[in-house]
Copies of this chain bind each other. A is one copy, B any other.
């Protein structure tokens, strides 16, 4: 028979044990931060109803679905993002859910994207969401959690020249401005989706897209120039003092100060986010060196999503933090750890006659919680000890015929010391 294709499906990843150890470490940090912030983990199935994403058309995400019909003719899709599933679960809980709720998840998400520049078609995405809290204290908490994770991962978030920047905007600022141009409701969301792409496609193409939406050249130019606004003072100069977006940004900065992350925050109206459901604060976490064109993570407030799903008005805010970009950054900076295999003891029965006693010793040690590999390979000592050392084992327990006859096992401490002693089998319950 011909050999099968050894590659995974285009754009998706395998996790060999050495990759998996890194992933487990990363997910462990995410879970640790979520725990410190009092968040509860949830999950939904990667397979969702297609309608959950196509209900409100227009977002690029709906054009990138892995969607299909099941054998029962149900239209389904692999989730491209977690927020609609979260909204579904929260809506399902109804009044039984104590609010505010803090939920997190680490879903794998799928988007059928162009494969240029090594982009993947799936990633795992750390999601943290706060449900039922209208205050920007929620946003501040989520940003602080992102920064805490970066700190635990070894990045510099504390000095005057930190590794990352949080670019923050508020759609209510843009909204006020667009309302003045007569752009409201669904048109507002459509404009947001277009101007979000400006960094990628440039001013000219952005203007062309806006013209397709019916905007005049003057309106387009005004919008594009607005996006260059940075800093609270510049924003304050462009909207009324009681603009809710401006007030929210001001309050957010005060809380960011309190949680020690204000030096990382840069108010920047060019941050839009590509999803139409955001209503207030939007933010993106970037590599401060600017060497990566893609955001590390992004988040935002989406206070109307529950209503578009048929639920009661519910303030919600959350972020998605993918595993691909951050691992690239950490690798580039030599910050990826090489977690150990976790093997304490290797038991080595030299021949099949010693298998039962080796099995008894292994059972005894495992019952104490030790990590034990029994080397049943029948290979020579040199090979076995080499493998045990490569696997990071602390001890090698050698069982030859002579040893078992004498009622002992040779215990060799691995590592630089290489102490060796004969220990009665009874010590190991054998």
Contact = CB atoms under 8 A, between A and B. Distances in A.
Contacts of A1: 55, 307-310
A207 to B, nearest CB: 29
Contacts of A78: 47
Contact of A16 (B35, B89, B310): B89
Query: Taking the full assembly, how many copies of this chain does it contain?
Result: 2
A381 interface: no
Contact of A45 (B14, B88, B255, B387): B14
Contacts of A8: 44-45, 48, 88
B359 A44 contact: no
Contacts of A374: 38, 137, 141
Nearest to A99: B377
A360 B74 contact: no
Given A9-B74, A112-B71, A255 B17 contact: no
Given A36-B371, A258-B357, A45 B9 contact: yes
Interface stretch (A102-110, A176-184, A288-296, A404-412): A102-110
Contact of A9 (B47, B346, B362): B47
A281 to B, nearest CB: 15
A341 B110 contact: no
B308 A88 contact: no
A144 interface: yes
A359 B35 contact: no
A366 B122 contact: no
Contact of A359 (B76, B108, B137, B352): B137
Contacts of A356: 254-255, 257-258
B36 A366 contact: yes
Contacts of A419: none
A35 B24 CA distance: 13
A257 to B, nearest CB: 7
A341 B42 CA distance: 12
Interface residues of A, number: 103
Interface in A356-407: 356-357, 359-360, 362-363, 366, 369-374, 376-377, 387, 390-391
Given A43-B23, A88-B4, A9 B372 contact: no
Q: Would you call the interface of chain A mostly helix, strand, loop, or mixed?
A: mixed
A70 B51 CA distance: 18
A17 B4 contact: no
Interface stretch (A90-98, A163-171, A193-201): A90-98
A259 B42 contact: no
Interface in A168-219: none
A46 B108 contact: yes
A10 B72 contact: yes
Given A6-B88, A376-B135, A41 B24 contact: yes
A76 B144 CA distance: 40
Given A9-B48, A47-B122, A99-B377, 13 more contacts: A2-B310, A4-B51, A4-B52, A5-B49, A9-B45, A15-B42, A20-B40, A23-B43, A68-B69, A133-B377, A144-B363, A258-B357, A259-B363
Interface of A: 1-10, 12-17, 20-21, 23-24, 35-38, 40-49, 51-52, 55, 66, 68-72, 74, 76, 78, 88-89, 91-93, 98-100, 102-103, 108, 110, 112, 122, 133, 135, 137-138, 140-141, 144, 148, 254-255, 257-260, 307-311, 341-343, 346, 352, 355-357, 359-360, 362-363, 366, 369-374, 376-377, 387, 390-391
16 contacts: A3-B311, A6-B88, A14-B42, A15-B44, A23-B43, A24-B41, A35-B342, A36-B371, A46-B46, A68-B69, A98-B387, A99-B377, A100-B376, A100-B377, A137-B359, A259-B359
* Complex A-B, nearest 10 residue pairs according to Cβ-Cβ distance, in ascending order: A3-B310, A38-B373, A68-B68, A17-B40, A258-B356, A12-B45, A258-B359, A15-B43, A6-B92, A36-B366
